[in-house]
Chains A and B, each alone.
Chain A
């Protein structure tokens, strides 16, 4: 799981208020008292008063922008993008003209301030985008849709090297231990390209297709829209920073879309290390076909970088773990850890015990061993 403590949002909000006051108030002060201020710091008076006033006005506007972000951060995310760009450009020009000797050192205060705030705004932006994913990654199991429970679950997954099927086996174990009947549907591509082990050329083709998101097609899953499963669990792995093509094909095939509509769906991601974007892609795909995401888990393979990354390359290149033999003792496993597998059993159990929605949209927390507030590198 991936959740750790972070700077509270209110700290970012008050940092926005600080620059709002500094930009709006400071520039008003500069316009009114530029003569005594510049005289005090030993800076020359502006040669072009129009440009000076224009820059003050621009900076004042960014102060207003920062104040709006302070007031309602979740509703003003695009303003933060403008703030990042505006502050970064201002800082860049300040440094540039200072380097040409055309700017008094006094103005570097503003240059550094804006450089710092372009980073702060960027971090705040990263914090604020896709807040629903943060809720899911906290480990919560959300309330399920209000519909009759059949205690039947369907697992949909693709597994080329066996890591995905290993993870889903544990989810199945958890669900079955709580009385669920579980069926599985393996995504089988209609192309022979997606197999393992593979040659270098096949690897390059898969890589390029993953980077450029070239879709594939899969054999029909054969699940009707009015199926009896009350829960679907979808698993995907990371292929070059994105979700794997065969799993994405499930959602691209119109015949499969109805099976998710109005159903509780959970998402599981397994990977070497880059889990965030594939997870977001999987969740958005599920939501786009009307699925109600009730829980997510993402696990990295165990081991420390950079050896974990190179272990993956050796694994993909040789088609087997522990090769080359002389590196056997340093290469890391190509599957999730036993701790992660235990957590997936608990995840399956928690999914089986999920509550039904009393009031749509309100999360209900199921106590779940292992889903804590600290990052667990699986």
Chain B
């Protein structure tokens, strides 16, 4: 038992604490969180498009692909905006500008797949707009409050 307690106590949550801190979008670490969230957005979109033609009977794949169509990215960005405004009040409007930039990156990531495969959908600005209707109202409310 002592071994288990010691084992757990000696574990490190440092990287995860760093991640949570980074997602509060501190002004001093703009380059870092910008890269992190860009990587997340690009990864989501490429995964969505990679899953288009594979595991066609998998329920899990279907659910993941539905989530990656817009909710995962939109809700994450909305959550980040709220968390960032809570940790660093007064930066809400600037962060909304960055959120818009992430939507541009999202679109470009989808469109770049058109260069790679001759038969693919590319980005879906329709559902991205639905995602924006989640992210931005939440971000605006957070910025106002």
Contacts and interface: CB of A to CB of B under 8 A. Distances in A.
A213 B117 contact: no
A213 B58 CA distance: 9
Interface residues of A, number: 49
Interface string B53-69: 11011010011011001
Interface in A1-35: 2-7, 12
A138 B129 CA distance: 30
Interface residues of chain A: helix, strand, loop or mixed (majority): helix
A284 interface: yes
B115 interface: yes
B100 interface: no
B125 A5 contact: no
Contacts of B119: 2-3, 133-134, 137-138, 276
Given A119-B46, A126-B50, A284-B56, A6 B114 contact: yes
Contact of B126 (A124, A275, A309, A373): A309
Interface string B22-65: 00000001001001100100110010011111101101001101
A308 B66 contact: no
A130 B53 contact: yes
19 contacts: A4-B114, A6-B118, A7-B116, A119-B42, A124-B116, A133-B53, A134-B119, A213-B62, A241-B62, A273-B126, A275-B121, A276-B52, A277-B51, A280-B53, A284-B57, A306-B126, A306-B130, A308-B126, A309-B125
Interface of B: 15, 18, 29, 32, 35-36, 39, 42-43, 46, 49-54, 56-57, 59, 62-63, 65-66, 69, 112-121, 124-130
Given A92-B39, A126-B50, 19 more contacts: A2-B121, A6-B118, A12-B116, A95-B35, A96-B18, A115-B39, A119-B46, A123-B112, A126-B49, A129-B50, A130-B54, A134-B117, A211-B62, A213-B62, A272-B126, A274-B69, A274-B121, A277-B53, A308-B126
